[in-house]
Amino acid sequence: MKPAQFDYAVPTTVEEAARLLAESNGDGKIIAGGQSLMPMINFRLVKPSILIDVNRIAGLNRIELVGKRVRIGATVRHHQTASDPLIAKHLPVVHDAMQHVAHVTVRNRGTFCGSVAHADPAAEMPMVTRFLDGTIIALSIRGERRIPAADFFVGSLVNSLEPDEMVLAVEIDVMPDEAGWGFEEFAKRHGDFALAAFAATLRMDNGRARDVRIGMMGVGEVPLRLPEVEEILEETQLTQGVLQAVAEKLNDILTPNTDIHASADYRRHLSGVLAKRALRSAWVRAGGRNE
């Protein structure tokens, strides 16, 4: 299909981008990598009056350490995140998750912030941003606004940006050096959107798990952090019994959809399998024994 007619602007400063967005009265769309937006425009699922292309704005393509946070700018491509040394050192679970995102051609254009803004519940970057409690830095003509990830993802493909706000960057606290992590997903083919994914980070204190964080995607309308599961694991040793309790808890609390790719029952079962694998990796990387 062909898109409906739209204007196209290529601002060179963030101020200009924010002004153009404000002037579009909610009809304009930011375009970053275009990997999700262009298919939607071609199918006429969205009909923006203007596309505001942020790719020529200098400085947005950086991954930086800002104090104890990693800041990922609006035009950082997936391939950059996948190979960036700061990400590998300070956010290794993000590094691992990124290896599952799409295929090389998509990763050469698609952006971290574009994926977060797109808010697909089966996308890896929204999931890691949510479960690591990242912050979305929004910009409009009124200035910057910091949105906790817990408040950002409000539905499938729906975020809490105002119509005149763009994502300037995403910031995520660095993981402690001693933290272990695990990321597991199942997709029918590598690079396809996953049926489900499970991520965990934890550290070890006196042989017990502490500061456990659990995230999941593909099993709800938004990416999830799961405090109910974290509670089970906090201050325990990762025995078979604990892993089984986690799988049973997931089975109780998750309400995934049935669709053409998998049934809800299958996704619940898959969640338990992925949880066991990811938690074992996190435990061993944190210094625990592999039993």
Binding residues for ligand FAD, per CB under 6 A?
29-37, 54, 74, 101-102, 106, 109-111, 113-115, 117-118, 120, 123-125, 166-167, 191-193
- The smaller minimum CB distance to ligand FAD, of residues 51 and 233, is found at 51
- The smaller minimum CB distance to ligand FAD, of residues 101 and 200, is found at 101
For the bound state, the minimum distance from the C-beta of residue 3 to ligand FAD, rounded and expressed in Å, comes to 13
| Burial class of 165 by CB neighbour count within 10 A (0 to 12, 13 to 18, 19+) | buried
- The smaller minimum CB distance to ligand FAD, of residues 70 and 125, is found at 125
For the bound state, the minimum distance from the C-beta of residue 231 to ligand FAD, rounded and expressed in Å, comes to 28
For the bound state, the minimum distance from the C-beta of residue 180 to ligand FAD, rounded and expressed in Å, comes to 24
For the bound state, the minimum distance from the C-beta of residue 158 to ligand FAD, rounded and expressed in Å, comes to 11
- The smaller minimum CB distance to ligand FAD, of residues 39 and 227, is found at 39
For the bound state, the minimum distance from the C-beta of residue 21 to ligand FAD, rounded and expressed in Å, comes to 8
For the bound state, the minimum distance from the C-beta of residue 123 to ligand FAD, rounded and expressed in Å, comes to 3
- The smaller minimum CB distance to ligand FAD, of residues 123 and 275, is found at 123
- The smaller minimum CB distance to ligand FAD, of residues 118 and 267, is found at 118
